[in-house]
Amino acid sequence: MLEHTDRAVLIYDPEHPGKPKYDYEAIQKYQEGHEYPVDIIDFYDLQESAEEYEENHRQENNFY
């Protein structure tokens, strides 16, 4: 996976690692010898985006 991509976007929360922990660790190890950017999205980011989406959707449909 890492050798066939230019970067990664990973939904991962170090406080609740789960299965993405192995991908995260593989990326970190790969970064030791390669330039490989990774964007981490954690649960806080997901919650914030969901709330923002809900607020915008509510305003568009005039729901209160």
Number of alpha carbons in the 13 Å side-chain half-sphere of residue 2: 18
Range(s) of the domain holding residue 23: 2-60
Tokens of 56: 């915008």
Write out the two tokens for 17. Answer: 């690692």
- Rounded to two decimals, the pTM is 0.73
Label residue 57 by pLDDT band (50, 70, 90): confident
**How many distinct structural domains can be found in the chain?**
1
Q: Please write the tens of the pLDDT for every residue from 1-53.
A: 899 999 999 999 888 888 999 999 999 999 999 999 999 999 999 999 999 99
| Token pair for 48 | 């914030």
Tokens of 42: 């954690």
